[in-house]
């Protein structure tokens, strides 16, 4: 898949393009070209930054299916830029979910992907900085299932001890998502590594 040159100026049509992508996922209509989705994501990110738009964690809470993601590349000056983008195949479902925490307990993030009856799920604490639309997290639990049967469940990256120390760790030490588009039907964010992602709300009754 070839890289594309990306416009950085905001487009007034970015919301329309992203909504079209979400509709295509649900209804099977033609999808916007990957380059158009990347341009829309960058435009949405710039508009949110310039407009100082803030999103609540409650608006992000729920279960979302990863639909579109980008890669990154570094130029000769070492600056990381978004490169190619791609739609995830329907037969590789990947989900992320966010559960808000309380004053005494951090929230919970779950990230999972399934392929050919095998499901890999990571779970851990998360916390949200509303001023920056930034959700920091750490995965501390791993579960591996095959055809509905759990093959393994255990700690990763320090497990419970790491989770207990989560609130004391600086954002600079944690992976994060910086959200720049939040709607009832889809959300979009930039990860710490620089890539962009678009998720569609999961309305399936099972939520598994």
- Give mean pLDDT, residues 23-47: 95
Alpha carbons 135 and 185: distance in angstroms, whole number: 19
- Give mean pLDDT, residues 125-137: 93
Phi, psi torsion values for 138, nearest 5 degrees: -155, 130
Of the listed ranges 118-132, 156-170, 174-188, the least confidently predicted one is 156-170
| 130 within a domain of the structure (yes/no) | yes
- Count of domains in the chain? 1
The Cα-based distances of 105 to 139, 160, 192 in angstroms read: 16, 13, 24
Alpha carbons 175 and 192: distance in angstroms, whole number: 6
SS3 119: strand
Kindly report the three-state secondary structure assignment for every residue of 70-90.
EEEEECCCCCEEEEEEEECCC
Q: What is the predicted pLDDT for the residue at 172?
A: 81
| Full domain range(s) for residue 76 | 14-201
Percent of the chain with pLDDT over 70: 89
| 61 within a domain of the structure (yes/no) | yes
CATH of the domain at 111: 2.40.128.280
Q: What is the predicted pLDDT for the residue at 83?
A: 85
Q: Is 152 exposed, middle or buried (0-12, 13-18, 19+ CB in 10 A)?
A: exposed
Phi, psi torsion values for 158, nearest 5 degrees: 95, -10
Q: What is the predicted pLDDT for the residue at 2?
A: 34
pTM exceeding 0.85: yes
Is residue 140 a contact partner of residue 159, using CB atoms and an 8 Å limit?
yes
Alpha carbons 87 and 63: distance in angstroms, whole number: 18
| 182 within a domain of the structure (yes/no) | yes
Alpha carbons 126 and 203: distance in angstroms, whole number: 23
| 7 within a domain of the structure (yes/no) | no
| 4 within a domain of the structure (yes/no) | no
Of the listed ranges 50-54, 73-77, 140-144, the least confidently predicted one is 73-77
Q: What is the predicted pLDDT for the residue at 8?
A: 38
| 67 within a domain of the structure (yes/no) | yes
Q: Which residues contact 33 (CB under 8 A, 6 or more apart)?
A: none
The Cα-based distances of 62 to 57, 81, 111, 146, 171 in angstroms read: 10, 29, 12, 24, 23
| 25 within a domain of the structure (yes/no) | yes
């Amino acid at each position: 898949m070839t890289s594309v040159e990306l416009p950085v100026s905001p487009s007034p049509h970015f919301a329309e393009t992203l909504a079209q992508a979400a509709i295509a996922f649900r209804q099977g209509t033609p999808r916007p070209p990957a380059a158009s989705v990347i341009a829309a994501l960058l435009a949405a990110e710039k508009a949110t930054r310039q407009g100082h738009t803030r999103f609540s964690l409650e608006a992000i809470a729920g279960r979302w299916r990863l639909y579109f993601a980008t890669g990154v590349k570094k130029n000769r000056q070492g600056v990381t830029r978004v490169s190619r983008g791609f739609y995830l195949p329907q037969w590789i479902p990947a989900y992320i979910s966010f559960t808000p925490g309380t004053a005494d307990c951090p929230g919970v993030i779950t990230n999972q992907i399934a392929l050919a009856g095998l499901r890999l799920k990571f779970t851990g604490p998360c916390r949200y900085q509303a001023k920056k639309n930034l959700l920091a997290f750490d995965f501390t639990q791993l579960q591996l299932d095959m055809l509905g049967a759990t093959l393994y469940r255990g700690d990763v990256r320090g497990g419970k001890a790491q989770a207990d120390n989560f609130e004391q760790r600086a954002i600079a030490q944690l992976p994060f998502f910086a959200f720049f588009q939040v709607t009832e039907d889809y959300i979009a964010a930039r990860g710490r590594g620089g890539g962009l992602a678009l998720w569609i709300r999961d309305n399936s009754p099972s939520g598994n």
